[in-house]
Amino acid sequence: MDGEDIPEFSSLKEETAYWKELSLKYKQSFPEARDELAEFQEGSRELEAELEAQYRLNKEIETCKLISKD
């Protein structure tokens, strides 16, 4: 939990308010985190496709070099 220690509470009402506030904080940050994850995953897929294409191209180049040596 953000690396913070859980405070000691003087009443149940104080503890309830603390946990409610913390839950709202996380609830509000969830959509942004979800969007960042989706963006990261999309970028990862694009990078993977680009690297795969580059790998195939390099394989074709190597094959052509081997054929031209014969």
Residue 2 has pLDDT above 80, yes or no: no
Write down the domain spans for the chain: 13-70
* pLDDT on residue 66: 86
**With contact defined as beta carbons under 8 Å apart, do 46 and 25 qualify?**
no
| CA dihedral of 9, 11, 15, 17, whole degrees rounded to 10 | -130
**With contact defined as beta carbons under 8 Å apart, do 22 and 33 qualify?**
no
pLDDT in tens, 5-46: 899 999 999 999 999 999 999 999 999 999 999 999 999 999
